Chains A and B, each alone.
Chain A
Amino acid sequence: MQDVSFGVSRGVVKAIIGPNGAGKTTLFNLITGFLTPDRGQIIYRGEAIQGQPAHIVASKGIARTFQIVQLFDHMSVLENVMVGRHRLTRSGLFSGMLRFPSMRREETGITAKAWEVLEFVGLADRAHQPAGILPLGLKRLLEIARSLASEPRILLLDEPASGLDQNETDRLGEMILTLRDRGLTLLLVEHDMSLTMEVAEEIVVLNYGQLLAEGPPRAIQKHPEVIAAYLGSDWQG
């Protein structure tokens, strides 16, 4: 990555597009603390967070999904979402083993919130199924639900539509817009152009680790270099 610089404003849906190998997932890994940049800064709410470990970055309210779905396959759907509450809860080893009243209260809260999220995404009927048996579309949904349970300020979605059929992609688009309306900031990496053009208010285009263009969808669609590098010269918009 070289000289990539952009910002994401609160409450905005921003998309990162570009050919494979352009560095989109690398960018996500840098933002979320899985990679450390050699140079440059990542500023979140006025604080420089580059180089901080992933779990610290997550605890500040930055949530993400993964290009290849990373669920806890042998845990139930409900438990997957319950893990999402981790950064907002405190019980440790002793209160867990001895089931202190404070721990039990916290558990009740965790379970209640998890159910809420499952109802919101529509997975409540599968709450006790092991996550591994879900079809891909629902797995992606569960991963998003799990992230939502952590009440993030910004949600990074890494190719959320990958492997989804048209129906599922449409519903994903609706969900993204609903989340935006609820005040969540979203940054997504996507290859599905119709989804991107539909939900994104701003688009960043990467190519070979560099920033090619940034702007609203209309401008990007007409941008000659973007068309040449990525959209293809027969792109109709």
Chain B
Amino acid sequence: MSRRFLASPWLLFALGVILVRLVVANDYYFTLLNIIGIHALLVVGLNLLLGYAGQISLGHAAFFGLGAYTSGILTATYSVNPWLALPVGLLVAGVAAFLVGVPALKLRGYYLAMATLGFGIIVYIVFNQTQELTGGPSGLSGIPSLSLGGFSFDSPDRLFLLIWVILGVILLLSANLVDSRLGRAVRALHESEPAAQSLGVNTSRAKLLIFVWSALYAALAGSLYAHTLNFVAPSSFTFMFSIKLVTMVIVGGMASIWGSLLGAAVLTILPELLVVFHDYEIIIFGAILMVVMIFLPRGLVRGILDLWELRRYKKKGGPSPAA
């Protein structure tokens, strides 16, 4: 493990995080990076489901929100220790994903999309309507920060390390998962479900497992989000955000761990750069999605890797791609 680590992107990642922490001096940039980190967590989880397993979810903001609100409510209203509230948030999202997944994953294509879309909207409405619990449309404030020992993660630069270390660990674990027996089974069922079944893969169980697992990533991101902003409101967990997440997966690279990070970074920074075009944000997102879909349908990272591989086998005088 140690030699592989030294020669790997993980070392670069770790060095990069340390470097950024030392170099960046502006709270605005740290805050932006923190949001990118939280988005990246969401995107990696969604990518496992959408890119690797090939299942659509148009309601992932709901799991993000369930994690955020569970942490928020437990810590702000009931003074529960944030580190205890976090696993409860995971549990809530996990159970919700299980209950939605069991019937919904039996559906195909746009039916599954509609089911997850519906679920997302229902959860959003619940956040808005249950005023006593969630604070309704004006949100829930007074959420405490996370702390470890006496060290409180209450400023953007401190949160940066927390979020990006967690993200790094999650990226590593996810890369491991993709390259394992379960990872191969999930990728296989995406390519050909009958073939995967014919080799003994319980495809229904695998899809449900990945669906719940990706919801847990979202809930983790949600908890971190709540303790970063010290505030949550339903407006962060809308259908539009679910679509943005899907866009980040697709643009960054389907079935690519690093692509998830790229997609999150690009599409989080973009609105900041285009602040002037705020009203047209959704149109611009849509346009980017269209362009990527036309030219690199599997996303930036995956599309470029695919092209590179194809070129490699063409050059070696290998056969041209089969019809």
Decide if A49 is an interface residue (CB 8 Å cutoff).
Answer: no
Interface bits B182-216 vs A (CB < 8 Å: 1, else 0): 11110110011011111111110000010001000
Residues of B within 8 A of A54 (CB): 194, 197-198
CB-CB under 8 A from B202, the residues of chain A are 53, 55
The secondary-structure label for the interface of chain B is helix
Contacts of B213 in A (CB 8 A): 93
Contact A70 B194 (CB under 8 A): yes
B173 with A92: CB separation less than 8 A: no
Q: How far is the CA of A135 from the CA of B313 in the complex (A)?
A: 13
Q: How far is A96 from B173 in the complex, measured between Cα atoms in Å? A: 8
User: How far does the Cβ of B176 sit from chain A's closest Cβ, in whole Å?
Assistant: 5
Contacts A96-B183, A106-B181, A133-B319 hold; do A58 and B192 have CB atoms under 8 A apart? no
Give the contacting residue for B322; candidates A72, A92, A106, A136; CB below 8 A. A136
Taking a contact as CB atoms under 8 Å apart, the answer to whether B184 and A135 are in contact is no
B322 and A53: CB pair below 8 A?
Answer: no
A107 lies within 8 A of chain B by Cβ: yes
In the docked arrangement, what's the CA distance between A58 and B200, Å? 5
- A87 to B201 alpha-carbon distance, docked (Å): 7
A132 vs B195: C-alpha distance in the bound complex, in angstroms?
A: 15
> Which residues of A46-84 have CB atoms within 8 Å of chain B's CB atoms?
53-55, 58-59, 63-64, 66, 70-75, 79, 82-84
Contact A93 B176 (CB under 8 A): no
Beta-carbon contact of B198 and A63 below 8 Å: yes
In the complex with contacts A130-B309, A133-B321, A96-B201 CB distance below 8 A: no
Q: A99-B176, A136-B322 are in contact. Are A32 and B201 (CB under 8 A)?
A: no
Residues of chain B within 8 A of A55, CB atoms compared: 196-198, 200-203
Q: Give the residues from 98 to 152 in chain A that come closer than 8 angstroms, CB to CB, to chain B.
A: 98-99, 103, 106-107, 110, 129-130, 132-136, 139, 146-147, 150
Contact A91 B180 (CB under 8 A): yes
Name the B residues within 8 Å of A33 (CB-CB). Answer: 197
When the two chains form their complex, are residues B181 and A71 in contact, meaning their CB atoms are under 8 A apart?
A: no
The answer to whether A32 and B198 touch (CB under 8 A), given A96-B176, A98-B173, A133-B318, is: yes
Interface: B177 (CB within 8 A): yes
Determine if B199 and A132 form an interchain contact, defined as CB atoms under 8 angstroms apart.
Answer: no
Q: Which residue of B lies closest to A75 (CB)?
A: B187
Contact indicator B182/A96 (Cβ below 8 Å):
yes
A10 at the binding interface (Cβ < 8 Å): no
Instruction: Assess whether B107 is interfacial by the CB under 8 Å rule.
Output: no
User: Is the C-beta of A86 less than 8 angstroms from some C-beta in chain B?
Assistant: yes
Chain B residue contacts of A193, Cβ below 8 A: none
Interface status of B310 (Cβ within 8 A of chain A): yes
Considering the complex, give the chain A residue whose CB is closest to the CB of B185: A86
Nearest CB of chain B from residue A70's CB, rounded to whole Å: 4
Kindly supply a per-residue 1/0 record for chain B positions 158-186, scoring 1 wherever the CB is within 8 Å of any chain A CB and 0 otherwise: 00000000000000011011001111110
In-complex Cβ contact of B182 among A79, A92, A99, A147 (8 A):
A92
| Chain A residues whose CB sits within 8 angstroms of the CB of B1 once the complex forms | 99
- Contacts A93-B209, A132-B322 hold; do A107 and B180 have CB atoms under 8 A apart? yes
Given contacts A72-B188, A73-B191, contact A87 B200 (CB under 8 A): yes
Closest CB in chain A relative to B36 CB, distance in Å? 23
Q: Per-residue CB proximity of B203-237 to A under 8 Å, as 1/0?
A: 10000010001000000000000000000000000
Identify 19 new A-B residue pairs, CB closer than 8 A, beyond the known A74-B187, A96-B183, A134-B322: A53-B197, A54-B197, A55-B201, A63-B199, A72-B192, A72-B195, A73-B191, A74-B191, A75-B188, A75-B191, A83-B201, A86-B200, A87-B199, A96-B182, A97-B177, A99-B1, A99-B180, A133-B320, A135-B322
A residues in contact (CB < 8 Å) with B? 32-34, 53-55, 58-59, 63-64, 66, 70-75, 79, 82-87, 89-93, 95-99, 103, 106-107, 110, 129-130, 132-136, 139, 146-147, 150
Sort A-B residue pairs by CB-CB distance and give the 8 closest, nearest first: A96-B180, A87-B200, A70-B195, A72-B191, A54-B197, A70-B192, A58-B200, A59-B200
